[in-house]
């Protein structure tokens, strides 16, 4: 049996999305920047996809810019804020994705910004009062906080963060890669300047994402070249990816509640059954379903010899998941997220992440194999 439980890393391509993309590949090969008929029909496909995504997110198509993925979009938002708005202070958390964390760390090393970290509680959730304190004590700041943590699943109240940022005239950027297609995003009413999404986290293709830019601000191009993306990003558009992205988001929104109910049931079931099967497991991150992304479950397992072999044992049994442990003292190897929440570095952790394609039988099989591993240790 083969079980895929690493959907927070990437999801299988939806068959309907694939069919849509193949149709475009076969029948629409013009360059969308060309003015002849072949080019114009492809330009129409790109703009139709932009309108679909914008409509689902309740914003105008002009506010959506296609990118190569979440990392490029995050970099664009952060670096544009520093360069175009004169920001010299940024606030983030120590559990952000590396696309955000490493970018901000580099800017601090280059002495372009002062970098502050908002406090986290024992579960890894944001201290909103401390965020206000950091904003009170500095000039205009950039706040970069993700909607859902990709390792723990913790949800940040981005509506609340947006309100706080507005109060202190801060620029607010949020990476919503893990939550796009799983929650409704109302960009017209969300007080955010930048929002980021990527197709491959919601059964769309890899290599395509978007950056939402609030119409109240203007940024300069980050990739210079042609006039693509309304002069904001040079380079021929990934037409197949863009069309696939729009189709994937359309499917996700059509069946969102049903998928959420199914996946949350699987997550809760696995949590309960693991507690029965393996004594002394712990859950990293929030356990309240209202504060946790329903597709992610991070389990802290008991200490074991050769803990780094746990994922290998799962893999040889046909189970794909991801994880690791907190960084040991003096070591850079390990999860910066688990280190930030002071997880025990001697206990292995595994992130199981689910999709609409997973089944109860797969969960039972995974628990059975995990139980075998810990009965032998």
> Which amino acids are annotated catalytic?
327
**CA gap 361, 318 in Å, rounded:** 14
Residue 59 CB partners (closer than 8 Å, separation 6+) = 187, 188, 212
Q: How many CA atoms lie within 13 A of 271 on its CB side?
A: 21
Kindly report the backbone phi and psi dihedral angles of residue 285, in degrees, each rounded to the nearest multiple of 5, phi listed first. 95, -175
**Closest C-alpha among 338, 362, 332 to residue 351:** 338
Beta strands 209-213 and 194-198 are antiparallel
**Closest C-alpha among 301, 231, 293 to residue 267:** 293
Indicate the SS3 state at residue 84: helix
Q: How many CA atoms lie within 13 A of 111 on its CB side?
A: 0
**CA gap 28, 38 in Å, rounded:** 7
**CA gap 263, 258 in Å, rounded:** 9
**Contact call for residues 145 and 161 (beta carbons, < 8 A):** yes
End-to-end CA, the chain? 23
Q: What is the DSSP string of 220-275?
A: --SB-SSSHHHHTB-S---HHHHHHHHHHHHHHHHTHHHHHHHHHHHHHHHHHHHH
Q: What is the DSSP letter of 142?
A: E
**Contact call for residues 101 and 114 (beta carbons, < 8 A):** no
36, two tokens: 């002849």
**CA gap 284, 352 in Å, rounded:** 12
């Amino acid at each position: 049996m083969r079980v895929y439980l690493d959907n927070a890393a990437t999801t299988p391509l939806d068959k309907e999305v694939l069919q849509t993309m193949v149709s475009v590949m076969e029948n629409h090969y013009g360059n969308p920047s060309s003015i002849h008929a072949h080019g114009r029909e492809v330009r129409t496909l790109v703009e139709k996809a932009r309108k679909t995504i914008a409509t689902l997110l309740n914003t105008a198509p002009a506010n959506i810019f296609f990118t190569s993925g979440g990392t490029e979009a995050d970099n664009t938002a952060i670096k544009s804020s520093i360069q175009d708005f004169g920001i010299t202070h940024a606030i983030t958390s120590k559990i952000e994705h590396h696309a955000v964390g490493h970018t901000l760390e580099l800017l601090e090393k280059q002495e372009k910004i002062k970098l502050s970290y908002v406090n986290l509680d024992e579960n890894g959730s944001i201290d909103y009062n401390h965020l206000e304190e950091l904003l009170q004590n500095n000039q205009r700041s950039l706040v970069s906080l993700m909607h859902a943590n990709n390792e723990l699943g913790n949800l940040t109240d981005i509506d609340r963060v947006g309100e706080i940022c507005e109060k202190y005239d801060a620029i607010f950027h949020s990476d919503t890669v893990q939550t796009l297609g799983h929650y409704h995003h109302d960009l017209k009413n969300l007080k955010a300047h930048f929002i980021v999404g990527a197709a491959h986290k919601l059964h769309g293709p890899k290599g395509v994402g978007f950056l939402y830019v609030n119409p109240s601000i203007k940024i300069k191009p980050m990739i210079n070249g042609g006039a693509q993306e309304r002069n904001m990003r040079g380079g021929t558009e990934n037409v197949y990816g863009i069309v696939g992205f729009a189709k994937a988001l359309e499917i996700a929104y059509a069946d969102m509640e049903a998928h959420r109910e199914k996946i949350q049931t699987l997550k809760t079931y696995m949590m309960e059954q693991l507690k029965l099967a393996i004594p002394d497991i712990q859950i990293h991150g929030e356990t309240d379903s209202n504060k946790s992304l329903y597709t992610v479950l991070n389990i802290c397992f008991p200490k074991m010899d050769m803990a780094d072999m746990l994922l290998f044992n799962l893999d040889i049994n046909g189970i794909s998941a991801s994880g690791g442990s907190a960084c040991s003292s003096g070591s850079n190897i390990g999860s910066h997220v688990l280190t930030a929440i002071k997880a025990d570095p001697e206990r292995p952790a595994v992130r199981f992440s689910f999709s609409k394609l997973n089944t109860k039988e797969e969960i039972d099989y995974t628990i059975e194999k995990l139980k075998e591993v810990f009965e032998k240790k």
